[in-house]
Structure 1
C-alpha cells in the first residue's frame, strides 16, 4: 500500500513536527531552502512556457469565432488582405488568402474537401499546443481534388473509400489554410472561387458547411485587446488555472510525462485549477513575476542585440517536441508558423552594421542575381512596427515580393528601398514603406524553399543605410 503525500500535506506535516519540537526546546522557524525555491521556480517557468501556446490557442480561437460569428468545424474564408488595423495575430502575412477553421473532433471525425487547382496552397493542421502534425497542400499531397478525414486521438472506426485519414493528437485542431494570391483583384476573381470549393462536413453528413468573411476589419472584434496581449496579462494563478482545465480537455503527449510529474512538486493537478496559497509571501512574489520574466526573455530574443544580419528560422519550427521554451517563443511572435519545408521566415531588426533599423533612416536591400530568394513557391518582404503589426502608410503597401511588378537592374539584380517617405522616380515601384522615427523589423517569407536555403552557408544580403542620393553609407 502506498500513500501519496502532496505539497500541502508536506507543509502541514512539517509544521506539525516543528510545533511538536517546541516542547523539546528544539523549535526552529520553518522555512523553505533557497534550493527548494529555485527548484519550484524552475518548474513553474518550464510549465509557463509549456502552457503558453495552449492558452493562447484557446483565446485566439474564442476571439476569431466571436469576431466572425463562425462556428467550430466551419471554414472562415478570408477574402481580403489585412491592413494596419488588423490585430488578431502578430506578424500577419500578405501573400495568401486564409481559409481557416477550428475543428472540434470530440463528437466525431470531419471531412475536408479540397478542389483541383494549379494555384499553390497549403493547409497545415495545428494541435492544441501549436504543433503542426499534418500539412495538406501542393508540396505534400499535390493539386488534385481530394478528401481528408480528420479523426480525434481516441476515435476508431471504418472510413469510406476514397478518403485519407489524418489522425489528430488533440480534439482541438486549427486548420490554417493559405492560397497564393497575386493581388487583390486576383484574389477576388480567382482565389475566392477556389476557397468556395474548400469545405468541411461531418463524416456521416452530406451537408456542405462554409462561411465567408468579407473583411479583416477590427471593428468586429469585441475583446478589449488582441489575444496575445490578453494572455500575457494573466496572473500566474489565472494562467495555470486556465492551463489546468485545458490540459484536461486536450491531454498532453506521452513525451510530456516528465513535466507532468514535475508539476506535482508544485501541487499542480490537471483539471483542478491552481493557487499560490500554500506558498510563503516571499515565494508568491518570486513566482508571480515569472510571466513577466519569461516574456522579457522573448523580447530579448526578438528585440535584443542581434549578432548577425538575419536570423534564419529554419530549424525546430512548426513541430517542437519538448522544446517548450522555443515553442512558446514562436507562438508569441508568430502564432501559426509553418513547417520549414513549407515556409521559412528570415527576420531582422538590424542593418549591415548591426544597428537597429529605424525609420529616421533610409535603407536598401540589394539582391544580386544569385541572391534572389530561392523558392519553389514565392517570396515576400514585410515590414512590422515595434508592436509586430503592419505599418500605416499612404500607399496601403505592407509587403513587397516576386508577385509585384518589381523593376530589376540590367544585370538581373534587385534593389528594395525601405524608407518612410516615397522615393523619387521609378524607385517607388520597389519601395516598402517603414514607420517614421521608430524602430521596425523585417520578415522575408520564402514559401516552399529550395534545398540550398537549408545549407549551413546560406546567406541573405544585408540591409544597408543610404543617404538622400541613394548612396550606401559605409
Structure 2
C-alpha cells in the first residue's frame, strides 16, 4: 500500500512540475511574441458604432493624462517663478513657484484646494533635464513633496512621513542616464518624463506661525541640474512677482480637457507614456483607432462627437462625491488608491475630475460628501452640526481638517475668510463631555459657537475631511466620519 501511495505521490509531483513548467513557458512565449500578435488592419472599414465604442474607452482612460499635458502647457508659460494673477504659483518648466500663505479663494487651477498648508507648484520634463529639489530643515512641522507622473501617480517619498533628511534631491525621468554630481542626497525617478511637484507645508492659523514659516518655505526651491552648485538657494516668496492672467477664471475649474481637441492630443499620450504591465493590448487598440480615423474624416468626426458625449455622460457625474471612492458611513465616501492608481482607471479619472492631485493613501486620506446623514443634499439655508465624539477626531500623526466647498468644489467667499477648521485652529471650543461640534451653514449658529462655524453659501455645498499621515484606524477604515445633522 505504501509503495502504491509513493508511486501516486511521485506521479502527482511530476504532473505538477510539468504544469508549472508549461505555464512558465506559455507566459514567457506570450511576453516575447506580443509584438507579433495579429491586430486589426488599419485599412479596415469598421462601422462607426465600433469606432465610437473604442473612442469612449480611450477618452475615459486618457482623460487624466491629457489633463496633465494641458496644465503643464499653461503653467510653464510663466517667464519666471511668480504668482499668476497674484494668486497661483507658477514657474517656467524645470522650476517651481511657492505661495507664502494659504491659497486665495479665487484660485481656479484645481478644485478642492485646502487652507491648511502653504502650496508650491511646478512642472518638469525630466528626460530632457532632471531637476534638483531642495529640502530645508522643517523641524517638527509637517511637510510632504507630492511628486506626480503623467498618469497622476505619485513617485518618490519625500516628506515627514518618510523621515526625509534635509538636502538636495534629484528628480529624474525614466530614460535619463547622466552623471550624478557630488552633494546630491538621493535620486527620485518618475515613470514618465512629464512630471510635476506640489509641495505642501503645514501652517497653523496664527500670525506667529505665518511669520515663523517664511524662512523655511523660502528654501523650497527647484531648478535644473545644470544650476546645482551644492549651496542652498533662497527665494523670498513673499516678494514673488505677479504675472498677468488674461483668462477670466469664472466660477468653475479651468477646462483642462476640451473634448473637441482631445483626440488631437491623445497620440502624444500613447507616445510618451509607456504601458503598464498588461496594457499592451489596450495601447494596440488605441493606436489602431488613431490610424483608422486619420484616414477617414467621417470616423474622425464620429470620435469627436463621442468625446463630447462621454464628457457629459461619464466624466461630469464624477463631480458628485457618491461616485468617488467607496462609502465610509454616515453618507460620506472616502478615497481609494489615491495617487497610486495602477489600473484603477475608475478612481484615477474620477479624482482627476473632482479633486485632482490627491496625496497617496499613507500620506492623506480624504472623506467627502454632498449630503447630510439622512441622505438629503447639504444646503446653506440650513445649519448643520458635525460632532466628533470625545477621542474620535481623525486619528493622525500629521493634522486633520474639515473644509467646506461650494457646488463647484471651491471656497465660498465669506466675511470671516474662513474655509476650514481643524488642527490648525487654536480657539475651537469643546463640549463639556470632551466632544467637538463644528457647524456649517449660511447663518451664524450663535455668538458662542462662531469659533466652530464654517460659513456656507446660500445654496448647495459639500464637506471634505483631510486626515494627513493617518494612524491605523484611518488607514484600515475602522474610523468612521461623523454624522452631519440639521440643527433644529
TM-score range, shorter chain: 0.7 to 0.9
Q: Provide the rounded CA distance (Å) in 1 between the counterparts of 2:224 and 2:348.
A: 31
Aligned to 2:58: 47
Aligned to 2:166: 145
Q: 2:353 matched to 1:332?
A: yes
Aligned to 1:28: none
Closer, same or farther: CA 330–147 of 1 in aligned 2, 3 Å: same
Q: CA deviation at 1:250?
A: 4.2
Closer, same or farther: CA 75–284 of 1 in aligned 2, 3 Å: closer
Aligned to 1:263: 286
Q: Provide the rounded CA distance (Å) in 2 between the counterparts of 1:301 and 1:382.
A: 14
Q: CA deviation at 1:441?
A: 0.4
Q: Provide the rounded CA distance (Å) in 1 between the counterparts of 2:396 and 2:413.
A: 29
Q: Provide the rounded CA distance (Å) in 1 between the counterparts of 2:295 and 2:247.
A: 26
Aligned partner of residue 263 in structure 1, secondary structure: helix
Contact 2:42 2:288 in 1 (8 A): no
The normalised TM-score by structure 1 is 0.82
Aligned partner of residue 450 in structure 2, secondary structure: helix
Closer, same or farther: CA 410–55 of 1 in aligned 2, 3 Å: same
The normalised TM-score by structure 2 is 0.80
Alignment map for 1:77-88 (pairs within 5 Å): 77-88=98-109
Which deviations, in whole Å up to 9, do the C-alpha atoms of 1:221-247 show, x marking residues without a partner? Answer: 333447954234432xx1011121244
Q: 2:451 matched to 1:429?
A: yes
1:221 is aligned, of 231, 245, 248, to 245
1:357 is aligned, of 374, 378, 383, to 378
1:122 is aligned, of 127, 130, 144, to 144
Closer, same or farther: CA 286–99 of 1 in aligned 2, 3 Å: closer
Q: Provide the rounded CA distance (Å) in 2 between the counterparts of 1:201 and 1:111.
A: 6
Aligned partner of residue 241 in structure 1, secondary structure: helix
Q: Provide the rounded CA distance (Å) in 2 between the counterparts of 1:419 and 1:393.
A: 11
Q: CA deviation at 1:261?
A: 1.1
Closer, same or farther: CA 206–84 of 1 in aligned 2, 3 Å: closer
Aligned to 1:450: 471
Q: CA deviation at 1:148?
A: 1.2
Aligned to 1:419: 441
Closer, same or farther: CA 330–275 of 1 in aligned 2, 3 Å: farther
Contact 1:310 1:460 in 2 (8 A): no
Q: 2:133 matched to 1:112?
A: yes
Q: CA deviation at 1:184?
A: 5.7
Q: Provide the rounded CA distance (Å) in 1 between the counterparts of 2:350 and 2:125.
A: 26
Contact 1:314 1:454 in 2 (8 A): no
Q: Give ranges in structure 1 of 5+ residues lacking alignment.
A: 12-30, 468-474
Aligned to 1:248: 271
Aligned to 2:27: none
Closer, same or farther: CA 295–215 of 1 in aligned 2, 3 Å: farther
Closer, same or farther: CA 197–83 of 1 in aligned 2, 3 Å: closer
Aligned partner of residue 50 in structure 1, secondary structure: helix
Contact 1:79 1:187 in 2 (8 A): no
Aligned to 1:100: 121
Contact 1:86 1:217 in 2 (8 A): no
Closer, same or farther: CA 184–127 of 1 in aligned 2, 3 Å: farther
Q: Provide the rounded CA distance (Å) in 2 between the counterparts of 1:197 and 1:303.
A: 39
Aligned residues: 435
Alignment map for 1:59-458 (pairs within 5 Å): 59-65=70-76, 66=78, 67=84, 70-118=91-139, 119-142=141-164, 144-161=165-182, 162-183=184-205, 185-186=207-208, 188-206=210-228, 214=238, 220-225=244-249, 228-235=253-260, 238-268=261-291, 277-279=297-299, 285-286=305-306, 288-300=308-320, 302=322, 308-404=329-425, 405-436=427-458, 438-458=459-479
Closer, same or farther: CA 288–443 of 1 in aligned 2, 3 Å: closer
Q: Provide the rounded CA distance (Å) in 2 between the counterparts of 1:244 and 1:283.
A: 14
The alignment yields a C-alpha RMSD, in angstroms, of 3.1
Q: Provide the rounded CA distance (Å) in 1 between the counterparts of 2:248 and 2:487.
A: 40
Aligned partner of residue 386 in structure 2, secondary structure: strand
Q: Provide the rounded CA distance (Å) in 2 between the counterparts of 1:385 and 1:206.
A: 43
Q: Provide the rounded CA distance (Å) in 2 between the counterparts of 1:280 and 1:89.
A: 30
Q: CA deviation at 1:326?
A: 1.8
Q: Provide the rounded CA distance (Å) in 2 between the counterparts of 1:451 and 1:281.
A: 51
Closer, same or farther: CA 41–297 of 1 in aligned 2, 3 Å: farther
Aligned partner of residue 467 in structure 2, secondary structure: strand
Q: 2:43 matched to 1:9?
A: yes
Closer, same or farther: CA 250–215 of 1 in aligned 2, 3 Å: farther
Moved more, 53-62 or 427-436: 53-62
Closer, same or farther: CA 61–212 of 1 in aligned 2, 3 Å: farther
Closer, same or farther: CA 209–253 of 1 in aligned 2, 3 Å: farther
Q: Provide the rounded CA distance (Å) in 1 between the counterparts of 2:234 and 2:51.
A: 47
Q: CA deviation at 1:465?
A: 0.3
Contact 2:332 2:481 in 1 (8 A): no
Contact 1:200 1:210 in 2 (8 A): no
Closer, same or farther: CA 411–7 of 1 in aligned 2, 3 Å: same
Q: Give ranges in structure 2 of 5+ residues lacking alignment.
A: 1-35, 79-83
Q: Provide the rounded CA distance (Å) in 2 between the counterparts of 1:50 and 1:355.
A: 32
